[in-house]
Structure 1
Amino acid sequence: MEQAEEILKTVDFSGYDDILFISKSVGTAVSSAYAGKYHLKTRNIYYTPVEASFQFMTQLGIAFTGTKDSWVDHVAIKEGCEKGGFPLHITEDADHSLETGNVLKDLENLREIMRVTEEYIVGNSDEF
């Protein structure tokens, strides 16, 4: 949190109509806590959130996780997303880096993850 505050200390968020935070892993907790602390209205892309993040995740967002992510309790992630209203996109056989170990499969998965990410960013989908 201290690092995020240091990096963002000169940003005047009041000049923005739309604030998008993209975060990964423990960073999902940091970005959410930061937005809450500074009363920012944000949209969020949460890549592989950890369970502790859900105590801070209160604003709009989508989440991505893998079925073989050993860093998380999969039931807790699904429940946290359901409770928070975050559409959860699950990548089969993917780990905490959203990788399967099969390069071609990873590229296919990454293409789909980026397609969903782009749709969320531009707001052109009801899929979330």
Structure 2
Amino acid sequence: MSNKKIVVIFPGVNYRADCPLLYYAGFKFETRGYEKVAINYDDLTNKYDLLAQFIEAVKSDVLAKLRAIDLSQYDDIVFVSKSMGTAVAGWIEEKLCIKARHIYLTPIEETLSYIKKDKDIIIVVAGTRDKLLNTNILKEQCMKENIPLKLIDGAGHRLEVKGDIDKNIELLREIVSTY
């Protein structure tokens, strides 16, 4: 048995794959023997005024990139996604008709339809001060679908607490330990 494993990193608009939460996710999975693919949409970032248009363009771009990889050869596929990347990761799994395990970091409203009990979701992580998605709506969805949710008290969309470096390093360690 080959036991091939891959982790795909889906960044946010202003949170690239080399930012701490995603960098360490990739690093952690690589140390476990996973191949790593970090998606990058820098070439699309400034071309769209509306988030919805940007997401649609990113979906097409990422679909083409991932179709170039034969994901059917992998025994374990993990998608780690942040913000807008969570909507793209959920959509890609369905579009490619594959089974991926998900780590959703700060999902947005467009991601809610992918947070379902029939999906293999390792964890959803969000901050209580995230301005892009109401924490209560996310909490209700996760409870209804029996999905593990980690809420970070006082953290915003970047899963950081403003002005507290020690707290942010502690949060990074805590969040990465859930992967």
Same fold (TM over 0.5): yes
Q: Name the amino acid aligned to 1:15.
A: Q
Q: What whole-Å deviation, never above 9, does each CA across 1:77-101 have from its counterpart, x for those lacking one?
A: 1112122322001111100000102
Matches within 5 A, 1:99-114: 99-101=160-162, 102-114=164-176
Give the structure 2 partner of residue 77 of structure 1: 138
Matches within 5 A, 1:88-107: 88-101=149-162, 102-107=164-169
- SS at the partner of 1:79? helix
Matches within 5 A, 1:1-128: 1-58=59-116, 59-61=119-121, 62-101=123-162, 102-117=164-179
CA distance in 1, matches of 2:60, 2:134: 27
What stretches of structure 1 move > 2 A for 4+ residues in a row? none
CA distance in 1, matches of 2:153, 2:60: 34
Unaligned runs of 5+ residues in structure 2 are 1-58
CA distance in 1, matches of 2:102, 2:135: 20
CA contact (8 A) 2:126 2:157 kept: yes
Identity of aligned residues (%): 37
CA contact (8 A) 2:115 2:147 kept: no
Q: Please, what TM-score do these two structures have when normalized by structure 1?
A: 0.86
CA contact (8 A) 1:51 1:76 kept: no
Q: What whole-Å deviation, never above 9, does each CA across 1:8-65 have from its counterpart, x for those lacking one?
A: 1211011111110000111111111110111111100000011220213341111000
CA distance in 1, matches of 2:114, 2:142: 12
Q: Please, what TM-score do these two structures have when normalized by structure 2?
A: 0.63
CA distance in 1, matches of 2:98, 2:146: 19
Unaligned runs of 5+ residues in structure 1 are 118-128
- SS at the partner of 1:97? coil
User: What is the aligned length?
Assistant: 117
